A = this chain, B = another copy of it.
Amino acid sequence: MPLIAVHVIKGHDEAYLTTLLDTIHEAMVEAFEVPDTDRYQLLSQHEPFEIRALDTGLGYTRGPNLTIIRIISKARPESAKQRLYELVADRLATALGISGDDIIISLVENSDADWSFGRGRAQFLTGEL
């Protein structure tokens, strides 16, 4: 159910971007313990000047693999969120060599009534999900 918007800088090919989305999904499935079919992702590619990401003084260096991930999800425990951040960083390093310095994640929570997955129904309210 999480809806995930991924923002990257242009310059990567479709194979890279497909692996990026697949890997983020796999990390989310494991961290949030949701079914593999719970996949809703939107990718946006930006010109370099369209993305600005500094580091709030943390000492991180952002590069061309910068990946900003915005997640809308029902409430999750802190531990699941922390696990998600760790897994996304670990898996993207392994799959694509993306540095942990290049991964920024921001999450917003909503509620059961805030989702319709199709057919005009609110599946968390109807009991279908």
For A119, the closest partner residue in chain B by CB is B100
Say which residue of B42, B89, B113 sits within 8 Å of A120 (CB atoms): B89
Asked if A109 is at the interface (CB within 8 A of a chain B CB), the reply is yes
Q: Is A106 within 8 A of B43, CB to CB? A: no
Are the CB atoms of A72 and B122 closer together than 8 Å? no
Number of copies: 3
Rounded to whole Å, the gap between the CB of A25 and the closest CB of chain B is 7
What is the interface residue range for chain A against chain B?
Answer: 35 or more
With A49-B17, A52-B21, A113-B78 in contact, is A120–B103 under 8 Å at CB?
A: yes
Q: Would B122 and A90 count as touching, CB distance under 8 A?
A: no
Q: Which of A14, A53, A100, A106 has the most CB of B within 10 A?
A: A106
Q: Which of A46-77 contact B (CB under 8 A)?
A: 46, 49-58, 60, 68, 70, 72
